[in-house]
Amino acid sequence: MKIKILILTSVVAIAVFGFSSWTKNNTTETSSPQTNSTVGYNVGQIAPEISLTAANGKDMKLSDFRGKMVLIDFWASWCRPCRAENPNVVKAYHEYKNLTFKNAKGFLVFGISLDRGQNEWKQAIETDQLEWETNFFGNQIVAQQYNVQYIPSNFLVDGDGKILGTNLRGEALEQAIKAHLQ
């Protein structure tokens, strides 16, 4: 009798799991994260609020920059791929910081370092010429909030706070920003 119950339970679990997986993979475009305007870390969602103290000692929130195109950039001084990507981020910053977008005016980088040592972080900022005032130190909680699994990771956010793209590097970052110019 116990074996029959175990088998029946297993069949029901497989049926339920299989159906839920099927429905997730077979949803229509209208119900995908692309069109979902709730708060979250997926494309189409509103970026969760971030409140941090910058390298210059100023308290800043992501929402302070509504009306601007923002790249939330997770990186670290010890991360070679991050450091290799920094010149692309700096180039984009200089090229787009004063331009007008479809629903934003200006572009800025909200750089969140996952470093543990402030000296290494500050040295990397100086060496890589990350000159924007929105540089933040060592915040693992925000990385968890955005479900960051690896670095570099980034989120391109429009003037309304909606995530337009994620993990954009090099030419992909440039193209994503250009696509929203006015």
The enclosing domain of 58 has a CATH number of 3.40.30.10
Question: Are 22 and 71 found together in one domain?
Answer: no
- Report the percent of the chain where pLDDT is more than 90: 73
29 residue type, one letter: E
154 shares a domain with 140: yes
> Domain span at residue 21?
2-31
Whether residues 25 and 115 fall in one domain: no
> Which residues lie across from 153 on neighbouring strands?
74
44, 14: one domain: no
d(CA 180, CA 71) in angstroms, rounded, equals 13
Tell which wins on pLDDT, 1 or 15. 1
pTM over 0.95? The answer is: no
The reply to whether 14 and 86 lie within a common domain is no
Type and span of the H or E element at 143: helix 140-145
> What secondary structure letter does DSSP report for 41?
S
Give the separation between CA 177 and CA 52, rounded to whole angstroms.
25
Confidence label for 36 from pLDDT (cuts 50, 70 and 90): low
Same domain for 168 and 82, yes or no, is yes
The Cβ of residue 38 has, within 10 Å, a number of other Cβ atoms equal to 9
How far CA 165 is from CA of 28, 46, 175, in Å, comes to 20, 12, 11
94 plus 120 within the same structural domain: yes
In 107-177, the DSSP E strands lie at 107-113, 135-136, 153-157, 163-166
> For 80-98, how does the pLDDT look when each residue is reduced to its tens digit (9 = 90+)?
999 999 999 999 999 999 9
